[in-house]
Amino acid sequence: MRWALPSLRRAKEVALLSIDEEADHGPPPLDCDTTIAEALARHGVSPRLLHEPAQQGGTGAQLLAAVEREKADMLVMGAYGHARWREVLVGGATRHILSHADIPVLMGH
């Protein structure tokens, strides 16, 4: 997410949220989160790591719930597309965010 570094460096606080669609309970697998946090730290950004198991209602709704809970004033996220059949079955987080976010969203692909 090099494209987001200027905004992240100016932020008073950065939270890095991972939503684990595979986990039921237990400690989070921090390999990916730690790698991203270390990469951000090398660029002067020290995120607070948040991890949640996936909840019903879709990833987009869960992201927006976390934004509200954290009182965030901006969301930075990757925007990805999936095969149409998968989006029909699973839903689309990017589409949900674009339709329902009431804060600025910085997306990159």
Mean pLDDT split into 10-residue runs, the chain, 109 residues = 90 92 59 83 94 90 96 89 58 84 91
Give the start-to-end residue ranges of the domains of the chain: 2-108
2-108 belongs to CATH 3.40.50.620:
yes
What is the reported pLDDT for 108?
84
What is the reported pLDDT for 31?
67
Widest pairwise Cα distance in the chain: 40
Cα end-to-end distance, the chain, whole Å: 9
